[in-house]
Amino acid sequence: MKRNSDQPIKITEVSLRDGSHVVKHQFTEAQVKSVTKALDDAGMHYIEVSHGDGLGGSTLQYGKSLVDEMKLIEAAVEEAKQATVAVLLIPGIGTVHELKQANSLGAGLVRVATHVTEADVSAQHIEYARKLGMETFGFLMMAHSAPVEKLVEQAKLMESYGAQGVYITDSAGALLPHEVRERVRALRNSLQVEVGFHAHNNLSLAVANTLAAIEEGATRIDGSVRCLGAGAGNTQTEALIAVLNRLGIDVGIDLYKIMDLAEEVVGPILPGSQEIRKGSLAMGYAGVYSSFLLHAERAAKRFNLDSRDILLELGKRKAVGGQEDMILDVAAELAQRKVEM
């Protein structure tokens, strides 16, 4: 593979954050310790740990955590001898106070996440993170839902606030490879900082999209062991490392150790197999935020509906992350329509 960048590729493992959605935010300290220790031993660069919706996400709306996320961050830091512990922060859910606490416990990287058209709300958090001395990246969610020109505009805002890189975040797993190429190329040509890519596998394109991003010059890449992430999961870390090795790209992560921890450490944590089922496929098809799946399934059961109908309607309404409260309203409306038909 010919890459459009000479910078090394750095991988952030997101199973202990994005995977929180899968386990309904019930990670234990022991689980975080065992996964972090195995990832660190395998040579992982960054390990993201927080509620699925980022710092401060443990609420009734987003789902209550079993264990306070600060304790989980502290547990990960204790085990990470080489890797940097990372956190996600969505302004409006998390605040600079949680960020300061996470940093004091040892978190060294933060991704400040906003909807793809709302980068302006990230200024305070990006600037504060830089003052704390943290590695700081912007994270533009639902990147499929805005024109490339808007994506570039918003990424430039994050860069102007001090972000050291900006991620194209395919929150719905809706992007196709040519769309990933177009977006990464546009940011590479417009920014002076690094470009990252975060995929979801709802259309079975996570690895393909990630390779397209890498070829176009993305240097910050996300993966989740055993696809432990929202929806059908993210780019499967062990598969990605295997493919990169085949392409002659050595990122310094031990393939056998990643394969072993996927099977022996993460496997027992999974409540079920991470595969593309009708719900996650519908999310990718409709372009709906991947963490909406469990909420939509609960609403479908409550109102005797097909969860796919709820997800498709949410897609039509262009629902974004943080609008989980819309799901019950949409379900109630669909149920009423069904009665009136």
| Whether residue 293 sits in one domain with residue 239 | no
- pLDDT score at 302: 94
| Whether residue 253 sits in one domain with residue 179 | yes
Q: Which of 21, 45, 125, 295 is catalytic?
A: 21
Q: In whole angstroms, what is the distance from residue 240 CA to residue 57 CA?
A: 29
Of 171, 169, 173, 235, nearest in space to 203 by CA = 173
Give residue 339's pLDDT band: very low, low, confident or very high (50, 70, 90). Answer: confident
Single-letter code of the amino acid located at 69:
E
High-pLDDT (> 90) share of the chain, %: 86
Tokens for 267, please give them: 């496997």
| Whether residue 243 sits in one domain with residue 219 | yes
- pLDDT score at 274: 87
In a domain, 118, yes or no: yes
Q: Can 21 be counted among the known catalytic residues?
A: yes
198 among annotated binding-site residues: yes
- pLDDT score at 319: 82
In a domain, 227, yes or no: yes
How many other CB atoms are found less than 10 A from the CB of residue 87? 28
Give residue 341's pLDDT band: very low, low, confident or very high (50, 70, 90). Answer: confident
**Start-to-end C-alpha separation, the chain:** 55
| Whether residue 317 sits in one domain with residue 176 | no
289 among annotated binding-site residues: yes
Of 158, 107, 94, nearest in space to 135 by CA = 107
CB neighbour class for 224 (10 Å; exposed up to 12, middle 13-18, buried from 19): buried
Helices (H) and strands (E) in the chain, counts: 13, 8
Mean pLDDT for all residues in the chain: 95
Enter the pTM of the model: 0.92
- pLDDT score at 51: 96
Which residues span the domain enclosing 336? Answer: 278-340
What is the mean predicted confidence (pLDDT) over 235-263? 97
Question: Position of tokens 């040892």?
Answer: 106
In a domain, 285, yes or no: yes
Tokens for 225, please give them: 């062991």
CA 26: distance to chain centroid?
18
What CA–CA distances, in Å, run from 244 to 1, 211, 220, 221? 9, 8, 14, 12
| Whether residue 213 sits in one domain with residue 121 | yes
| Whether residue 254 sits in one domain with residue 137 | yes
Helix/strand/coil for 259? helix
17 among annotated binding-site residues: yes
Pairing of strands 220-223, 109-115: unpaired
Residue 30 contacts by C-beta under 8 Å, 6 or more apart in sequence? none
Half-sphere exposure of 166 (CA within 13 A, CB side): 33
- pLDDT score at 98: 97
Q: Find the CATH number of the domain harbouring 57.
A: 3.20.20.70
What is the mean predicted confidence (pLDDT) over 216-221? 98
Q: How many domains does the structure of the chain reveal?
A: 2
Residue 240 pLDDT exceeds 80: yes
200 among annotated binding-site residues: yes
Q: Angle at CA 317, nearest 5°, toward 314 and 323?
A: 65
- Domain final residue, candidates 211, 235, 269: 269
Question: Position of tokens 């547990």?
Answer: 75
| Whether residue 52 sits in one domain with residue 161 | yes
- Domain final residue, candidates 223, 241, 269: 269
pLDDT digits (tens, 9 = 90+) for 10-50: 999 999 999 999 999 999 999 999 999 999 999 999 999 99
- pLDDT score at 4: 82
